[in-house]
Amino acid sequence: MTFSFLTPLLFCFIALSSSSASLGVESFIGYPIIPISSLISKNLYDTIFLHKDDTACPAKNFYPYQSFIEASKYFPQFGTTGCLATRKREIAAFLAQISHETTGGWATAPDGPFSWGLCFKEEISPQSNYCDSTDKDWPCFEGKTYKGRGPIQLSWNYNYGPAGKALGFDGLRNPEIVSNNSVIAFKTALWFWMTERKPIPSCHNVMVGKYLATKADIAANRTAGFGLVTNIVNGGLECGIPNDARVNDRIGFFQRYTKLFNVDTGPNLDCGYQKSFQ
């Protein structure tokens, strides 16, 4: 439990020692607030998502840089918690996860498969309307489908309802807004990232060192790192499977992005030997 909490701090001190010329000890200890726009410029954003506005991408022009920045302001702790390396790593992890969820890449794609994030804004050919009729708190509305939409591919009525309530839109009556309004789309992805669903931790807490493993987590080998974030996002389908192609795709995006941010990935990248939360 203690190691899970301290690991990101260890990387902070490593980052501090290698960049003392630009970041003093006093600044490190005080964790100065650095705006998201200072950590990811429009140029870096466009480099990360090289092909999001290609004609081949159904989401062409739907995910502009300014919409991401505007949505991030709704979650002031995102990308501003911890030391500089931790902040950059969290942003890279978030962008990697949404890239896999919306990827249009393939093995021989131009500039590589990990340059094609944010290519889709909604699920293509969903196998159901994603309505859990047993959830009485968030009842489905006739004729509505709660398929994957937006950067995180928000799915199911029990996610659309709470997301809408938290963000100020009717997710059950108007789920389509997630694929029609780019700021709201990014907000839903950040809402999912920042929200704890006990006993499931938030992705944010995992990436910034606030995750404390329970006895159940330890027994399930759920150790802090990018792999645990994948477990939170889609562990029921992807985790507990060594060398799963979907998990590897998420890792590939993360590795590319951390290089662009000039930070390391940290430990425990995959969830191949973790039990899922579901």
Residues 144, 142: Cα–Cα separation, whole Å? 6
Confidence of residue 34 (pLDDT cuts 50, 70, 90): confident
Averaged pLDDT, 200-219: 97
Are 230 and 250 in contact, with CB atoms under 8 Å apart? yes
Q: State the chain's maximal CA–CA distance in angstroms.
A: 60
Query: What percentage of residues in the chain have a pLDDT greater than 90?
Result: 87
Model confidence over 190-205: pLDDT tens digits? 999 999 999 999 999 9
Q: Which member of 101, 122, 123, 238 is catalytic?
A: 101
Average pLDDT over residues 129-154: 97
In the predicted structure, residue 171 carries a pLDDT above the cut 60: yes
**Residue-by-residue DSSP string for the chain:** -HHHHHHHHHHHHHHHHH-TTTS-HHHHHH-----HHHHS-HHHHHHHTTTTTSTT-TTTTTS-HHHHHHHHTTSTTTTTSSSHHHHHHHHHHHHHHHHHHT----TT-TT-GGG-TT--SB-SS-SS----TT-SSS---TT-----BTTTTB-SHHHHHHHHHHHTS-TTT-GGGGGT-HHHHHHHHHHHHH--BTTBPPHHHHHHT-----HHHHHTT--SSHHHHHHHHHHHHHTTSTT-HHHHHHHHHHHHHHHHHT----S----TTPPP--
Q: For the whole model, what pTM was predicted?
A: 0.90
The mean pLDDT of the chain is 90
Query: Confidence class of residue 33 from pLDDT cuts 50, 70 and 90?
Result: confident
- pLDDT score, position 278: 73
Confidence of residue 212 (pLDDT cuts 50, 70, 90): very high
Please report, as a single letter, which amino acid is at residue 145.
T
Q: Rounded CA gap, 247 and 269, in Å?
A: 9
pLDDT of 106 higher than 60: yes
Q: What is the pLDDT of residue 21?
A: 32
Residue 147's CB is within 10 A of a number of other CB atoms, namely: 23
Whether residue 101 lies in the annotated active site: yes
Q: Average pLDDT for residues 6-15, to the nearest whole number?
A: 48
pLDDT at residue 13, rounded to an integer: 43
Which of 181, 182, 127 has the alpha carbon at shortest distance from 156? 127
Residue 14 has pLDDT above 50, yes or no: no
* Domains recognised in the chain with CATH numbers: 2-120+196-261 (1.10.530.10), 123-180 (3.30.20.10)
Question: Quick one: tokens of 32?
Answer: 């100065």
Sign, CA torsion 231/154/141/198: positive
pLDDT at 230: 98
Euclidean distance between the first and the last CA atom of the chain, given in angstroms as a whole number: 21
pLDDT at site 2: 33
Side chain identity, residue 8: P
pLDDT score recorded for residue 124:
92
